[in-house]
Amino acid sequence: MSMLFSPVTLGPLQLSNRIAIAPMCQYSAVGGLATDWHMIHLGGLALSGAGLLIIEATAVTPEGRISPDDLGLWSDAHAEALAPVIRAMRSHSPIKIAIQLAHAGRKASSEVPWEGGANIPPHQERGWQTVAPSNLPHADGETVPLALDEAGLARVKEGFVAAAHRAHALDLDAIELHGAHGYLLHQFLSPLANQRQDAYGGSLENRMRFPLEVFEAVRAAVPKDMAVGMRISATDWVEGGWEIEQSLRFAGELQARGCDFMHVSSGGLSPRQEIPLGPGYQVAFAERIKRETGVPTIGVGLITEAQQAEDILQQGQADVIGLARAMLYDPRWAWHAAAELGEQVFAPPQYWRSQPREHKHLFGTTRLGQR
């Protein structure tokens, strides 16, 4: 059996294979509410054969959205809009479903990518005042965020907790906290964005404090049988910024607090970043965290081929392979990988007749009751 199609556990979360669909923002919500697009998009991915699907970055407060069209979970109405999508996926697929809870911090109030993605000033239509650890903009000329005071920190933390309660009520299998890509929790971690003079800034211990408080609060808010993990940027790719040695310290602190997995990415905090792109360019970070802390990791970063994914797992560099754009380009990536590696994969019975003759045993007999 290949490792890619072998089962794995992330804390209480049991996956039938090691393919995870990473969260990908769709910028297609209305007032944070899920729309027909989410039904079509997530419904299609639920039939991919992957073991895990992580719903896109979902804002825990209105000002925490990256764009005005981001998905949200800051009210019961938002949960009600997402519920039919979850029910539909559950009805037709055994895939495990997680959600990424997020706050964009100073990178909020931005236009959608296909409209340029630029920062929208608070005085313009669709814009709002952003918040952050310190009043430092993401880039020159962008909105200067308000530094979160004690009440603001409490409001953000309460937003994460309330969204976690709603995620559990939606019968989701896991929560991933977004501590990567230059968003709020990452901003607290990096000395490039966090120049506070209080207990939440300065030393590494202080910069880790708020992200760890949020993790502890979310972990305590949901039952132990619901997995809770975190996505991090292992490095800012900027001299003097957050880097892998600090990430290892952070991983150890998360592990001590019951973190079930870490989804290891990089970059996104500063426009000064210099990223050496290449196949699997972030996998080494996942490998170090897995090896040196024992926390299960999801490895990502230009992983596009089945054998490449298999080799990463065989070499012990990660426990799960995260796919994002590759899965959008090829929503049947898992089917094709199974065919290449001589494995079986879930497909709904309506699709069984699509098996090529040379792969007539491609589709397994997994039933929906096997959750």
Name the pairing type of β-strands 174-179 and 146-147.
unpaired
- Distance between CA atoms of residues 258 and 255, nearest Å: 5
Q: For residue 370, is it within any domain? A: no
Give the residues across from 138 on adjacent strands. Answer: none
| CATH assignment of the domain containing 170 | 3.20.20.70
Tell me phi and psi for residue 361, to 5 degrees. Answer: -110, 25
Please choose, from the candidates 161, 173, 146, 288, the residue with its C-alpha nearest in 3D space to the C-alpha of residue 219.
161
Known catalytic residue at 329: no
Query: pLDDT digit string (tens) for 74-109?
Result: 999 999 999 999 999 999 999 999 999 999 999 999
User: Residue 364 domain-assigned?
Assistant: no
Q: Say what the pLDDT of residue 278 is.
A: 95
Q: How many CA atoms within 13 Å lie on the side-chain side of 349? A: 5
Q: 183, 200, 281, 351: which is the annotated catalytic residue?
A: 183
Q: Has residue 266 been placed in a domain?
A: yes
Residue 364's pLDDT is 77
In a domain, 3, yes or no: no
Mark out the alpha helices in the chain (DSSP H runs).
36-46, 76-92, 150-169, 184-189, 204-221, 244-256, 283-293, 306-314, 325-329, 333-341
In this prediction, residue 61 has a pLDDT band, given cuts at 50, 70 and 90, of very high
Please compute the mean of the pLDDT values over residues 46-52 and round it to a whole number.
98
The mean pLDDT of the chain is 96
pLDDT at 367 over 80: no
Please state the rounded mean pLDDT for residues 295-306: 97
**Number of folded domains that form the chain:** 1
89 contacts 81 by C-beta, under 8 angstroms:
no
- Full domain range(s) for residue 355: 8-359
Predicted local confidence at residue 202, as pLDDT:
98
Residue 2: inside a domain, yes or no? no
The pLDDT value given to residue 196: 98
The reply to whether 371 falls in a domain is no
| Residue 23 lies inside a defined structural domain of this protein | yes
138 is a domain residue: yes
**Would you give the end-to-end CA distance of the chain in angstroms?**
21
Distances, alpha carbon 367 to alpha carbons 60, 83, 239, 332, 360, in Å: 34, 22, 50, 19, 19
